């Protein structure tokens, strides 16, 4: 549930950026000087993002405390506390963005830390269901490259970079992700059962390539139109969310011993 809420939060953050609504609420932590602002236009996106952030912070805190009491593996307990710390840092970063009027560096850091928050919650879920082995180094490389690709994507979205580095990064990230997933799948061909994380990474990677092409094409086609166009918003946010899913799949694969079977809890 925490991972799902975190993904919802990432989606809400994407909607805020795509709708250019980050500064629709000029104050923080209050909203237009009160708890609930007037809900219109871009304020709705920003306020929903803040409410979801509060929910995720509460859930992550609850998860960390719960795991502290129930989870026997120290690394899992640490992971939960790291997730909570990352969410708190993310909230403070969000506040700084509002106070400092959306400097690009902070905006990119905010988007990047969101991926880390999501990745940590995915790792906790994977760990809960038994993953946690040394895993596959190519999958770990894939997770790292996909994260860097997400940072590049954030830089493009916030106008710090042109799209070219992100496209080059996409080719590299797709190559490494396919290498990681296909490598594991090849190993398991004779066992008649495909390891789910490897299949998931391959599918997410393929869908992500097409969603990226769709987002770029729609943006290019509507460049003369008054922005934000709904189709531009949704294709871009879909690309962002599928990208987070791809990263999540790579993390699960990286945590799964031999890429297929979870290690015992």
Partner 1 sequence: MRKIWITAGVACVLTLAGCGGGEKPAPKADAGATPAASGAATPDMDNGATITGKVIFDGTAPARKTLDMSAVPACTAAHKTPAKSEELIVGADKGVKNAFVWIKSGLPADKTWAVPTTAVAITQEGCMYTPHVVGIMAGQNLDIKNGDPTNHNIHPMPKVNADFNQSQPPGAADIEHVFPREEVLVPVKCNIHPWMRAYIGVVSHPFYAVTGDDGTYTIKGLPPGTYTIEMVHEHWLDQPQDQTITVGAKDNKTQDFTLKG
Site for partner 1, rule CB under 8 A = 19-28, 32, 38, 40-43, 46, 92, 95-96, 98-101, 224-228, 230
Between 175 and 230, whose beta carbon lies closer to partner 1?
230
Between 64 and 251, whose beta carbon lies closer to partner 1?
64
Between 224 and 264, whose beta carbon lies closer to partner 1?
224
| Nearest approach, Cβ of residue 45 and partner 1 (Å) | 9
| Nearest approach, Cβ of residue 217 and partner 1 (Å) | 19
Between 58 and 171, whose beta carbon lies closer to partner 1?
58
| Nearest approach, Cβ of residue 212 and partner 1 (Å) | 23
| Nearest approach, Cβ of residue 96 and partner 1 (Å) | 6
Between 20 and 66, whose beta carbon lies closer to partner 1?
20
| Nearest approach, Cβ of residue 265 and partner 1 (Å) | 30
- 114 with 247: CB under 8 angstroms? no
């Amino acid at each position: 549930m925490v991972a799902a809420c975190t993904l919802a939060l990432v989606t809400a953050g994407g909607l805020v950026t795509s709708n250019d609504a980050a500064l629709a609420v000029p104050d923080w932590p209050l909203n237009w000087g009160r708890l609930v602002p007037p809900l219109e236009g871009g304020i709705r996106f920003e306020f929903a993002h803040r409410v979801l952030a509060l929910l995720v912070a509460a859930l992550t805190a609850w998860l960390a405390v719960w795991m502290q009491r129930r989870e026997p593996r120290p690394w899992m307990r640490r992971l939960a506390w790291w997730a909570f710390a990352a969410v708190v840092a993310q909230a403070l970063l969000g506040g700084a963005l509002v106070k400092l009027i959306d400097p690009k560096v902070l905006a990119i850091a905010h988007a990047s830390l969101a991926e880390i928050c999501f990745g940590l919650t995915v790792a906790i879920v994977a760990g809960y269901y038994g993953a946690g082995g040394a895993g596959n180094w190519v999958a770990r490389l894939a997770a790292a490259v996909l994260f860097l690709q997400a940072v590049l994507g954030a830089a493009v979205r916030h106008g710090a970079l042109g799209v070219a580095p992100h496209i080059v990064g996409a080719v590299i990230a797709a190559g490494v992700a396919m290498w990681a997933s296909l490598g594991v799948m090849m190993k398991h061909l004779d066992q008649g059962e495909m390891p789910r994380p490897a299949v998931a990474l391959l599918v997410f990677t393929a869908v992500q390539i097409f969603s990226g092409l769709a987002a770029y094409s729609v943006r290019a086609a509507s460049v003369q139109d008054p922005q934000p166009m709904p189709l531009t918003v949704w294709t871009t946010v879909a690309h962002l969310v599928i990208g987070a899913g791809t990263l999540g799949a790579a993390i699960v694969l990286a945590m799964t011993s031999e890429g297929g079977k979870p290690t015992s809890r």
